[in-house]
Amino acid sequence: MGERKPFMAANWKMNLSLDEAEDLLTKLTKATIDFKRVDLLVAPPFTILQLAREILAGTEILLAGQNMHWEKNGAYTGEISPLMLKEAGCSHVILGHSERRTLFFESNDIVNRKVDAALSEGLIPIICIGETLQEREENKTSDIIRIQLEESLKTSCQRRSLPNHVILAYEPVWAIGTGRTATPQQAQEVHSFIRLWIKNTFDHKTGQAIKILYGGSVRPDNSKELMSQPDIDGSLIGGASLSAESFLSIVRFYEA
Ligand code: PGA
C-alpha cells in the first residue's frame, strides 16, 4: 500500500431516520479509531448532512454528498450544487455510483461534467466505476473499466492532469448489495489495471498516489483480506456501514 493511507467510506444510500443517524454518528464519534492509520468518511442522505456536520464537528471524520449537479445554481428542481454540499460541511462527493448510472441514467459524460464541477469547486470526487455480471462473463471487464475511466475523466485526460487526491472506487455491479464480494484476487486484478491506466494516462506519481477503494458487499469478515491487496487502498461500504458495530469492525481492519 506504500504511502497511501487507508480510506474507509460509508455510503448510507437512502437509509436511516434522523434519530437512527444521530445514534450511529454519535457511536462513531465515541469509538476509538487510530486516525493515523485510517481516514474515515460518511456519506449520509442530503437531509442528514446538517445534523452530521454538527455531530462530527471537531472530529476527524469526513463528510460527503452521495451525488450532486454539475451546475453552480439555476432551475434544476431536485438537485444539489457543489457549493451547497460545501456549505453543508462536505469535503468529498461520491460520483457515478452504479445505482446513479443504472437507475438514474447517468452516463460517463454526465459523470465527467460532475467530476469537473467538483474539482473546480474544491470538492474531492470519489468516482465509481465497475462492470456488470454479463460484462464480466463476456470477458469485457477491462474494456468497460477503461472506457469508464477515459470518458468519466475526459476533461482531465484532455488536460493531461489529474489531482492525485481524487479517489476512485472500483465497485463491480454484481457485488453491490448482493452479498457476493469479488475475491481479493479478482479485485486486485482490476485495481492494478486501474492504477496502471492512471500511470500511463497521466503520470507515474499520480498513479502511485491515487487511492482506489473497493466496494461491493464489504463486511467485517472480508475487509482484512481485501485490504491486504497491494492496490486496494480502502472500501466504499453500503449495507455494512449502517450499523456502528459492523462499520467500525471494517474500519479497524488494522487490528485484526
Ligand atoms: P454494499 O454497497 O456494501 O451494500 O454492497 C456498496 C456501495 O454500493 O457503495
Out of 101, 132, 170, 237, mutate this one to test ligand 1's pocket (max ligand atoms within 8 Å of CB): namely: 237
Do the Cβ atoms of 149 and 194 come closer than 8 Å? yes
For ligand 1, is residue 218 a contact (CB within 6 Å)? yes
The C-alpha atoms of residue 53 and residue 56 are separated, in whole angstroms, by 5
Q: Could you tell me the pTM of the whole model?
A: 0.97
User: Which ligand 1 atom lies nearest to the CA of residue 178?
Assistant: 5
User: Which ligand 1 atom lies nearest to the CA of residue 240?
Assistant: 3
Length of the chain: 256
Per-residue pLDDT of the chain (256 residues; tens, 9 = 90+): 458 999 999 999 999 999 999 999 999 999 999 999 999 999 999 999 999 999 999 999 999 999 999 999 999 999 999 999 999 999 999 999 999 999 999 999 999 999 999 999 999 999 999 999 999 999 999 999 999 999 999 999 999 999 999 999 999 999 988 888 889 999 999 999 999 999 999 999 999 999 999 999 999 999 999 999 999 999 999 999 999 999 999 999 988 6
Q: Is 97 a residue of the active site?
A: yes
The C-alpha atoms of residue 157 and residue 105 are separated, in whole angstroms, by 23
The shares of helix, strand and coil residues in the chain, as percent rounded to the nearest 5, are 50, 15, 40
143: its cell numbers: 474494456
CA of 175 relative to ligand 1 center, distance in Å: 8
Q: Residue 170: which H helix or E strand, with range?
A: strand 167-170
> What's the pLDDT at 256?
67
> What's the pLDDT at 179?
83
170: its cell numbers: 472500483
Quickly list H helices, the chain: 18-30, 49-56, 82-87, 98-103, 108-121, 133-137, 141-152, 154-159, 184-201, 204-209, 220-227, 244-251
For ligand 1, is residue 190 a contact (CB within 6 Å)? no
User: Which ligand 1 atom lies nearest to the CA of residue 236?
Assistant: 9
Do the Cβ atoms of 38 and 254 come closer than 8 Å? yes
CA of 148 relative to ligand 1 center, distance in Å: 19
For ligand 1, is residue 130 a contact (CB within 6 Å)? no
Cα separations in angstroms, 252 against 187, 235, 243:
20, 12, 14
CA of 63 relative to ligand 1 center, distance in Å: 17
Q: Is 204 a residue of the active site?
A: no
CA of 236 relative to ligand 1 center, distance in Å: 7
Out of 128, 218, 247, mutate this one to test ligand 1's pocket (max ligand atoms within 8 Å of CB): namely: 218
CA of 179 relative to ligand 1 center, distance in Å: 9
Domains of the chain: 7-255 (3.20.20.70)
For ligand 1, is residue 94 a contact (CB within 6 Å)? no
Choosing from 106, 131, 171, 191, the catalytic residue is 171
Q: Whose CA is nearest to atom 6 of ligand 1?
A: 238
User: Which ligand 1 atom lies nearest to the CA of residue 128?
Assistant: 9
